[in-house]
Amino acid sequence: MGKALNLCNYDHDMLRKRGATYCENCSEELTRRHEMILNETERKEFEIVVRPLIKWLNDNCHPHVSVIADCSHAELLEGVNSFVTEDYLRD
């Protein structure tokens, strides 16, 4: 994800920590993050929300089914064939 160019000299992360929803200096909305560095609580929250999905996959699908989710949809995918090679990986 690209970080939007913002030349504001206010510390948006600090404003977020104080509960601000927008920057008084540049009017940028602060409710969405630009970088995803999770703290311990957020990592635990992530585990709590994905565990039921992983359980559902195990209860209802075969091992080559996966899910991709983003902010507006979740998609169930079935792998029908795979070929694995590391021949073209760059160091």
Which residues lie near Zn ion (CB under 5 A)? 8, 10, 23, 25-26, 28
- Cα–Cα dist 23/10, whole Å: 8
Closer Cβ to Zn ion, 21 or 60, answer by number: 21
Comparison of 11 and 45: residue with beta carbon closer to Zn ion: 11
CA–CA gap between residue 88 and residue 85 (Å, rounded):
8
Q: CB of 36: closest distance to Zn ion in angstroms? A: 20
- Closer of 8 and 53 to Zn ion (Cβ): 8
Question: What's the closest the beta carbon of residue 23 comes to Zn ion, in angstroms?
Answer: 3
